Structure 1
Amino acid sequence: MMDELTLVQRIVVWILPVIFAITVHEVAHGWMAKQFGDKTAYQQGRLTLNPMRHIDPVGTLILPAILLLTFTGFIFGWAKPVPVDARNFKQPRKAMMLVALAGPVSNLLMAAAWALLARIGVMLQVEFVSMPLIYSGVAGISINLALALINLLPIPPLDGSRVVSGLLPDYWAWRYNRLERFGFIILLVLLATNGLGLILAYPMYYAHQLFFDLAGL
């Protein structure tokens, strides 16, 4: 569907969904941390939807742009991580698991919101109004599902690894968390070798089907 658009149109369609997906993901982490007693992100002004407070030049701008311009059909990115101080939690392991899950859950909720926007476009049947809503909805669904599923992978420091770490005994959690220094390299290798696409192919397919059905597409 996106193949029908020119490069400029693709950029216009994708820019807002990408920025919102990445920004809200980080705000969700900080908001959940605040619920458990850690106000670090709040005190540093990171609980805001102002994207300028969250932009990471590489993860928010350069990488998504490269993926978009090279027509990979797979776009993701990241923002500056919100600061979380687990020492402020009464139950650090449980709290960190829920703080980690807040990001992917926020992306799934946003995917649903974009699907409903696309559905409005489908129902209106007025081309100059419908098509922007549908294209934006498809982009919003795609980027949010990509962020949710990638972040649920058990590769430190992704959110899924925080859940796994919280379930492991202390010693094994410590050993497992030491992989964090290699996490970015692992992701780059998976991306370069299409390993990431192979791992996520079936989850992405069925998730897209579910949300596209919601959108009436």
Structure 2
Amino acid sequence: MDLDLSTLRSGLLFYIVLVCSLCIHEWAHAYMADKLGDPTPRLLGRVTINPLPHMDLFGTVIFPLVCIFALGGGFLFGWGKPVLVDPRNFRHPRRDDVLVTLAGPLSNLGLALLAAVLGGLLYRTDPRTTELFLLIVGLNVTLAVFNLLPLPPLDGGQVLRHAVRMRDETYLAIARWSFLVLILALWLPPVRWALITLMKLVALPFVLLYQSLAGI
């Protein structure tokens, strides 16, 4: 595909925001685990906002760049390096593991809220910031909603695992094939429409807040 300067700029901006959002997501998992008593993420160098320790060569670099520049952004998928946690170090293993799990998606919603507030306020002095801040809102809402889908090994699947007390063997068996099933499901128009509609509904309050603060 031919890349003009505008397409290259938009693609790079999208990629930078995606990488930062993915890395904040993984940092939040590591930070919460560290605060709840598990030293594993800190020992592995994951309690940092430096993106490099959180980046997966295929999931954070190769695949997203191919999606953005080779596939034209029509299909986008990406992930950071999973944060290793040992629940045995937690005072309340089941509860604390859920808190660590939810920290990732909640960090993305927090970024969306921060972008809506700052972007709305900055719009009054520089409307050109609209693209950046609405991109941050949209991407982070997408990451939060996607990761909360109740499917192993996504964060929502981990919460479901504790909610129904799923056996480790069952969880791993589902996780082994779930990404393939999910990718195939996303090619189905009804599934894709339902997921996009859910993401739009979750993003709506952030967009309305942005517009209210921007006065538009």
* TM-score calculated relative to the size of structure 1: 0.86
Write the deviation string for residues 172-191 of structure 1: whole angstroms up to 9, x where unpaired. Answer: x7534531111221222123
Residue 152 (structure 2) aligns with: 156
Indicate whether 1:134 and 2:130 are aligned. Answer: yes
**Matched residue pairs, number?**
207
Q: How does 1:28-177 map to 2 (within 5 A)?
A: 28-69=28-69, 70-72=71-73, 75-124=76-125, 126=126, 130-131=127-128, 133-169=129-165, 171=167, 174-177=169-172
The CA RMSD over aligned residues, in Å, is: 2.1
**Aligned AA (1:189):** L
Structure 1 residues 161 and 195 mapped into 2: Cα distance closer, same or farther (>3 Å)? farther
Structure 1 residues 213 and 170 mapped into 2: Cα distance closer, same or farther (>3 Å)? closer
**Aligned AA (2:9):** Q
CA distance in 2, matches of 1:67, 1:194: 19
Which structure 2 residue ranges, 5 or more long, are not aligned? Answer: none
- The correspondence for 2:210, drawn from 203, 206, 215, is 215
- For the 8 Å contact 1:165–1:177, the answer to whether it is kept is no
Residue 7 (structure 2) aligns with: 7
Residue 194 (structure 2) aligns with: 199
**Aligned AA (1:10):** S
Write the deviation string for residues 51-108 of structure 1: whole angstroms up to 9, x where unpaired. Answer: 1111112211223223323344664421101111112123222111111111000000
CA distance in 2, matches of 1:54, 1:138: 24
- For the 8 Å contact 2:15–2:64, the answer to whether it is kept is no
Write the deviation string for residues 118-155 of structure 1: whole angstroms up to 9, x where unpaired. Answer: 2134211x4xxx31x21111111111111100100011
CA distance in 1, matches of 2:112, 2:74: 17
Identity %: 34
Higher mean displacement: 203-212 or 186-195: 186-195
CA distance in 2, matches of 1:72, 1:196: 18
Residue 26 (structure 1) aligns with: 26
* Cα shift at 1:36: 1.8
* TM-score calculated relative to the size of structure 2: 0.86
- For the 8 Å contact 1:64–1:76, the answer to whether it is kept is yes
- For the 8 Å contact 1:36–1:89, the answer to whether it is kept is yes
CA distance in 1, matches of 2:8, 2:171: 43
3-state DSSP of counterpart to 2:79: coil
Which structure 1 residue ranges, 5 or more long, are not aligned? Answer: none
* Cα shift at 1:194: 4.6
* Cα shift at 1:165: 0.9
